[in-house]
Homo-oligomer: A and B are copies of this chain.
Amino acid sequence: MRDFLPAEKARRERLLGVIRDVYRRHGFDEIETPVAEDSERLHAGLGGDNEKLAFGILKRGLTRDDLQAAQEPLDLADLGLRFDLTVPLARFYASHRADLPTVFRSIQIAPVWRAERPQKGRYRQFVQCDIDVLGEPGPRAEAELLVASLDALDALGLEGGVIRLNDRRLLTGMLATLGFAPSEYDGALITIDKLDKIAQDGVLAELRERGFTPAAVDALEAFFRRPQTMEFLPFGEAAIRRALPENPDPEALVGLVAIGEAVMAARGGAPGEALLQFDPFLVRGMGYYTGPIFELAHPSVPYSLGGGGRYDGMIGRFLGTDVPATGFSLGFERLVDLVDLPDEAGTDAVALLHDPEVPLAALLALKTALVADGSRVRLVARPKNVKPTLDALAADGFTRFAFVDAATTAASLDLRPLTETARS
């Protein structure tokens, strides 16, 4: 877990402010849930591998006997830190449904915790930016998620985002057509999900090694090796059909086409090639996805900047009745490494370098008058050699400075521009 010093904290908050603003304008509403959820709920099978990474919170008032009687650590935890924002959202919606609009569009921008082994670029506390649409079964929900997220990327200065799309029903339909047994689907998808890392031959080898129906793996190999035309088809029904075996799930197909058309119409410009890509082997790790799934890519980086999908069954786990739901999560920690937005303009930042003999009351009155005029003001005891101090102030974003001695008044304050030239 990390500390954030002022410059980094300000950088992060600027990005979050931009993302929040775009999502709000797209009609989403921010909510907040507590960092801890009931342990039982966190370990209900909805978090996949992340459940194992949940930090448990010790019950209060445990006795020595309680410790002795415990069979496993989880017996001693009644709460845990959330490992994602989806399980808390499902619980939130089940609790507050009566007070929410029929179609509820949520924003959650908040930290989550996973007890990962420390390694470069992986943190045990990190921020997720999720938007979700609850209560809308059709492609309108996905279209709103994707357009809003592409707009957020634009607003961060990352124009040219690309959406990779698939549907869980097309994936399982493909496996069925190739001859896999239904009991093999989940396992086979875990291996196919590694296509980016181990390539087609690696996937085939792993499937054979793990003992999947040999004829089905052969059929997958033939499908991988099929002759492909180089003719470009823009995103749409023809492109999707060509990328799949015969007879794809018609509802999934119609849904993806509708999502694509809506995203293209909303984003304007030429249809498809760069904006939308159908990826028949996009899996997304979580087992709870039931329909369209998607990832956000950008030409400047080889990894995805976010993703999500439809999870129509999850809220029913808490509420008893199913509620259609779909969500998108922006990879904030990746974005913050890529993007630097300029500091908000307009705030004049002034440093007052004061001599020791300036009376405190006069000094505070000078400072407060500048603050009241809208400036940001920092008091600094005047050092013998002012240059390093002025350089540091410029680096911290201060734009003007003045020396203050015992004779200085508001009228005589001599504010001078502070430039960063001295640093270079």
Contacts and interface: CB of A to CB of B under 8 A. Distances in A.
A6, A31, A55 pick with most chain B CB within 10 angstroms = A6
B10 A30 contact: yes
Q: How many copies does the complex hold?
A: 2
Nearest to A151: B371
A57 B60 contact: no
Given A1-B36, A31-B6, A103-B380, A360 B25 contact: no
A319 interface: no
A95 interface: yes
A45 B375 CA distance: 40
B3 A34 contact: yes
A421 to B, nearest CB: 21
A376 B140 CA distance: 17
Interface stretch (A61-69, A177-185, A212-220, A303-311): A61-69
A33 interface: yes
Interface in A21-45: 24-27, 29-36
A261 interface: yes
A32 B16 CA distance: 14
Contact of A67 (B2, B70, B381): B70
Contacts of A2: 34
Nearest to A348: B25
B9 A31 contact: yes
A303 B346 CA distance: 37
A125 B34 contact: yes
Contacts of A371: 25-26, 151
A9, A27, A29, A267 pick with most chain B CB within 10 angstroms = A27
Interface string A363-379: 11101100100111111
B261 A360 contact: yes
Nearest to A123: B34
A105 interface: yes
Nearest to A258: B360
A265 interface: yes
A295 interface: no
Contacts of A29: 6, 9-10, 396
Contacts of A105: 378
B266 A367 contact: yes
A374 B56 CA distance: 43
A73 interface: yes
Contacts of A6: 29-31
Contact of A360 (B95, B111, B143): B143
Contact of A58 (B24, B58, B96): B58
A173 interface: no
29 contacts: A2-B34, A3-B33, A3-B34, A3-B92, A9-B30, A24-B376, A25-B371, A26-B371, A26-B377, A27-B376, A36-B55, A58-B58, A59-B73, A67-B70, A67-B72, A67-B76, A101-B380, A105-B378, A140-B363, A143-B360, A144-B364, A144-B379, A147-B368, A151-B371, A261-B360, A261-B361, A262-B360, A262-B364, A266-B364
Interface of A: 1-6, 9-10, 12-13, 24-27, 29-36, 55-60, 62, 64, 67-68, 70-73, 76-77, 79, 81, 92, 95-96, 99-103, 105, 111, 113, 115, 124-125, 138-140, 143-144, 147, 151, 258, 261-268, 347, 360-365, 367-368, 371, 374-381, 392, 396
8 smallest beta-carbon distances between A and B, as pairs: A1-B34, A265-B361, A6-B29, A27-B378, A266-B364, A266-B368, A56-B58, A4-B32
